[in-house]
Amino acid sequence: MDKRLEAIVETLKERHAASLEESRGEVHVLLTRDAIIAALTLARDAHQFELLSTMTAIDYWPQTSPRFHVIYQLSSLANNVTLQFRVPVDEHEAPLPTASGVYEAANWREREIAEMFGITFDGHPDPRPLMLPHDMEGHPLRRDFPLGYEEPQFTFNYEEIDLRKPYAKE
């Protein structure tokens, strides 16, 4: 592990019982949902992680516990290091606390995760869906959501398919 990361990782281990994964030169810190806001604040204020590069989730379906990992990819410009926080989440768990108070960049990212994975965030200032239509059902980036397709219409079956084809509501 990079020397410049040791200080923050030690603090996180002590205060928040964080566990550590290292692969291919990257450091992933696993945290609980209660500790994540404190950990992000610590990273930003005490260890100069100015940039939340991205925030997303990974669906480990068919594994159910934990089903998701919510990922916070942090970057420090001053020290030129990166660090990844991960919070394991089950499917029907209570909402995660929002990180948009710590990093403004989390605002839209959390809206995206909420609509794409169905993981909700407590205290989010603007919980509307970001990209998907308001009447969209399901969460498309979950692994059990089918990759949809449209039946091609030819002259011989045009009307048959047209009857059951969903159109936008008037």
Partner 1 sequence: MTDLQEVPVGEFKHLVSERALRGETMLLNMGPQHPSTHGVLRLVLELDGETIVNCIPDIGFLHTGIEKNMEAKTYVKAEVMTDRLDYMNNMGNNLAYVMAVEKLVELDVPPRAQALRVILTELQRIASHLVWLGTMGLDLAAMSMFLYCFRERELILDIFELVSGQRMMVTYFRPGGVWRDVPVEFEKAVRDFIKIFPRRVDEYEQLLTRNPLFLDRVVKIGVLDGATALQHGVTGPMLRASGVNWDLRKARPYSGYEQYDFNVPVLTQGDTQARYLVRVQEMRESLKIVEQALNKLPMGPFTSDNRKFVPPPRSELGVSMEALIHHFKLWTEGFPAPDADVYSAVESPRGELGVLLAGDGGPKPRRVHWRTPSFGNLTVVPKIVRGHLVADLVAILASTDIVLGDIDR
Contact residues: partner 1, CB under 8 A: 23-24, 26, 28, 50-54, 56, 58-60, 71, 73, 75, 77, 80, 82, 84, 103-105, 107-108, 125-126, 128, 130-133, 140-141, 143, 145, 147
How many other β-carbons are positioned within 10 Å of the β-carbon of residue 18? 20
Instruction: Yes or no: say if 6 and 27 are a contact pair by the CB < 8 Å rule.
Output: no
Q: Which two tokens stand for residue 77?
A: 């410009």
Distance CA 50, CA 118 (A): 28
Min separation Cβ 13 and partner 1, Å = 21
Min separation Cβ 103 and partner 1, Å = 6
Q: Select 10 or 104, whichever has its Cβ closest to partner 1.
A: 104
Min separation Cβ 145 and partner 1, Å = 8
Rg (CA), the chain: 20
